[in-house]
Chain A
Amino acid sequence: MWATNAKIVGIVLGTLALYTLIANEIPQVQSEVPQTLTLGANVTPEQLVAAGEKVFTGIGGCPTCHGLGTRAPNLLTDEKGQGPIGARCGKREPGKSCKQYLYESLDQPGAYVVEGYQPIMPVMTKQLSPEQVWAVIAFLESQGGTVDVAASDIPATSSTSTTSPTGGGGGGGGGGGLAGGSTDPKAIIQAAGCLVCHKLDGQGQVIAPDLTHVGSRRDAASIRKKILDPASSVTKGYEKLAGIMPKSFGTMMNAAQLEALVQYLGAHK
């Protein structure tokens, strides 16, 4: 019986060892917690590229869609014979440099949806700090192109910031809120990038519901709730885009800004 027992133990241990070995042989990807990114005034392009790659493959979560070529254009390899993103970014929009195009793509992704893909990309400037955004741009430029991002591109006001892809775990809005704490609703709308997806008074995109007459279909309480908790209700016809609107606006505005925005939108009957 000892021989049988030994065989059983051998089979059990052997099976466990096999599975463990295989799981250790495949590429190891750890999900990191968002980290602080500090870039000094004399940061080099190489440092920016290295930091950008970490953001791109880490908290940015970019390869989840951009590494495949099915959900979004592939950025690191050739796309339709145009080369990787660094080689093609300068040719995408006439009159726009690679750097400008990439920044605007991150800031207003709805504005440049490549044909054949859905407008599913979130506004990355709302999810990443300016340092992280510019580092990613440098990394993308390095993919077949020339890196021309410099420390001077990074806004002086941004300083060091810790960002999490979803706005952190309970932190309040930073400083005085969007647009320097202005209670001008138009300035808030501009700073929050609402028109990247919504249309209002003839401006903006029609990816998400048109807000021109939002006051006629939602009262102030409903608008407030929708801003604070975008998933609380979904406008009919936009079910496929449920979950796209960031949940973080409530933490990005101060109370006075939120109320100013709610009243402004509510008056759009």
Chain B
Amino acid sequence: MTDSALLLLQAAADTTHAYGEFPVIGARAFIWITAEVHLMFAAFVLGVPMFAVVTEAIGIFGGDERYDRLSKEFTRLLLVAYSATAIWGAMLVFGLSTLYPRFWASLTAIFAPSMWLYAGLFFIESFTLYLYYYGWDRWKKGRAKLGHWTLGILLNVWGTTVMFIANAWLTYMMSPPRDITPTTDPTTIKLWHAMANATWMPINVHRVIANVVFGGAIVGAYASYRFLAARTDEERAHYDWMGYVGNFIAMSALIVLPFAGYWLGREIYQYDQSMGITMMGGFMSWLWVIQAFLIAVLFLTGNYYLWIGMGRIPGAERFRPYTKYLLIVLVLGAIVWGTPHTMIADSKELAAMGGSHHPFLGALGVMSAKNTAVNLMILTTFLSFLLYRRANTRPVVPWARTGTIIQGAMFAVAAAVVLFYGIRGYFVEAIVRIGFSVYQVLAVLSCIVFVTVIDILMARGAQSLGAIRWGKMPPRSQYALFILAVTFTWLMGLMGFARSGIRQYWHVWQVMQDTSKYAATPALGYASKMISLCVLIFLSLVAFVFWLGGLAEKSTFVATGDAEKGARHVGH
């Protein structure tokens, strides 16, 4: 036998070097930080192009140049963020290959071809972005503009495909196909078989929506900073509008995100009930209380921003008295949603509580109450937006009064359906109760769709009560946008921990065990510190990236000379 063959045999037999060590913070923390920060940048660079291409389309087909300018400004934020995404991605790969070499070798044995495709698509995506941004002023008119817009669409296609590929790797870790066992040779696993696993598509859909939410929130924070730093009324008006659009996009996508989350959760349960129970009722149960708190902050802050925004809209005075009722519904909803129920408790805690559930709060902690609460919160937020949208107009179509009554009735019916199934859920079996959430969701979504359609039709030729005074916002409204951005980012880190943590001490669920000294899944306290650190790193780098963008910027902002002309509502 030759020396080289002996060396190969020796290397293959050597199983002692499954893990490396990283100084000071350790291997797990290094991978945690690089993966999380990479994902945050990735979410940003995938989310922003989605609404950049939509706002460009509004500019093209609606003939409103302000949207085109806004779209370009969105895209400018992407340039340096792309580099940061790639750098953190490279750090993650180097970390995995040096700190978790055996696991990484197993993953590459299955997914190598998709990794090559990933690298190629990332390359193409980057150059599409450069063409998209630097060609903006060159391809500005006619067919060239449509070609430019097509570049934007392509940018999204490449980006989404890249994300889907990476999602296949991580979902394989969560839900490997059933026929793969600890003794399966990774080289014998078919690529598509591993990719098309149980949680791949739910994660894909969930992440597409979440990226839009995240991108909108970060853009909102960027705009709010520029608003606070603005020196002229025109600039302030522009960034006020941009912040509003970012927040609008984030909150709109947030409303549908829970439905994608339900689908993902259901697939996890169907794939492996014990994994689902670990997630919702096991050691991760307290995580959902924190999540409820964060979402409550998002709903309350998002609505608060809208309510303050009504101060700059002539005619909004009519609706302001109603905001206190909306606030009451939101607060009550948040309290119910945050009520703990299914969680691990030791004997002392159970004794202190007087039973497995709190005698009063236990009834509010069940899914019937929680689903009802969140659906009513979504309806309330939609109503806030509707009032905001109609604030400076008075419909003139002959059927305006009837239309408004129908809209009101739709809200009432949707709320009644949500309440009915919420209460009925207490009297039926769990399997029936789970199905009720579908009816509640459908009622809310139908209300949103039909009320919006009626509103658009009713707004035709509507009498204006005055232009929105863009830029006339108190600074506290802009700080609210910062809170939204921080909260969205933190929530993303928390949900990432939940998704990854439910594998517990498995690299690949029930196929490849984590035998490193970091195999135990940490408690939420430690996780929260890691999440906060990642958020801090990400936001600091984003601030730096935006500052860099500002250095290179001559002036993408073009004063309209009339701040109050500003932007109309999105959707008008």
Residues of A within 8 A of B (CB): 1, 4, 7-8, 11-13, 15-17, 19-20, 22-24, 26-34, 53, 57, 61, 63-65, 67-71, 74, 76-78, 120, 143, 164-166, 168-171, 228-229, 231-232, 240, 243, 247, 250
Contact = CB atoms under 8 A, between A and B. Distances in A.
A11 B483 contact: yes
Contacts of B342: 68, 70
Contacts of B438: none
Given A16-B486, A57-B346, A33 B178 contact: no
Residue from B182, B277, B431, B527 having most chain A Cβ neighbours under 10 A: B182
Contacts of B431: 240
B530 to A, nearest CB: 10
A23 B283 CA distance: 14
B278 A64 contact: yes
Contacts of B527: 23
A26 B281 CA distance: 15
Given A31-B504, A33-B505, 16 more contacts: A8-B228, A20-B531, A20-B532, A24-B524, A26-B286, A29-B286, A31-B505, A31-B520, A61-B277, A64-B277, A64-B344, A69-B356, A120-B273, A164-B513, A169-B511, A169-B515
A165 B522 CA distance: 18
B357 A69 contact: yes
Given A29-B344, A57-B344, A67 B350 contact: yes
B521 interface: yes
Contacts of A23: 290, 524-525, 527-528
7 contacts: A23-B528, A26-B290, A31-B521, A57-B344, A71-B281, A76-B350, A78-B355
A100 to B, nearest CB: 23
Contacts of B487: 15, 19
A124 B96 CA distance: 36
Contacts of B345: 27, 63, 67
Contacts of B183: 170
A229 B178 CA distance: 7
Contact of A74 (B356, B506, B520): B356
B559 interface: no
Interface string B509-535: 011111100011111110111011001
B521 A26 contact: no
Q: What DSSP secondary structure best describes chain B's contact surface?
A: helix
Interface in B3-62: none
B266 to A, nearest CB: 14
A171 B349 CA distance: 37
B519 A77 contact: no
A30 B528 contact: no
Nearest to A34: B505
Residue from B277, B293, B512, B513 having most chain A Cβ neighbours under 10 A: B513
A187 to B, nearest CB: 25
Contacts of B179: 229, 232
Contact of B520 (A13, A33, A78, A164): A33
B282 interface: yes
A8 B479 contact: yes
Nearest to A250: B181
Contacts of B514: 33
B188 interface: no
B208 interface: no
Given A28-B525, A170-B183, A33 B289 contact: no
B454 interface: no
A196 B195 CA distance: 36
Contacts of A143: 347
Contact of B506 (A27, A65, A169): A169
A243 B486 contact: no
Contacts of A77: 347, 350-351, 355-356
B188 to A, nearest CB: 15
A24 B483 CA distance: 20
B230 to A, nearest CB: 11
B490 interface: yes
A168 B228 contact: no
Given A28-B523, A68-B342, A170 B512 contact: yes
A19 B512 contact: no
Residue from A7, A8, A34 having most chain B Cβ neighbours under 10 A: A8
B101 to A, nearest CB: 17
A140 B277 CA distance: 22
B467 interface: no
B344 A63 contact: yes
Contacts of A232: 178-179
Residue from B351, B486, B512 having most chain A Cβ neighbours under 10 A: B486
B273 A19 contact: no
B528 A24 contact: yes
Contact of B277 (A65, A169, A229): A65
Given A16-B490, A26-B290, A231 B282 contact: no
A4 B226 CA distance: 11
B501 interface: yes
Given A76-B350, A229-B179, A11 B482 contact: yes
Contact of B513 (A26, A57, A169, A250): A169
Contacts of A69: 355-357
Residue from B274, B347, B351, B490 having most chain A Cβ neighbours under 10 A: B347
B479 A76 contact: no
A229 B181 contact: yes
Given A16-B536, A67-B344, A61 B350 contact: no
Given A16-B532, A170-B182, A247-B510, A64 B293 contact: no
A17 B536 CA distance: 11
A4 B229 contact: yes
B393 to A, nearest CB: 34
Contacts of B519: 33
Given A7-B479, A15-B487, A170-B512, A32 B344 contact: no
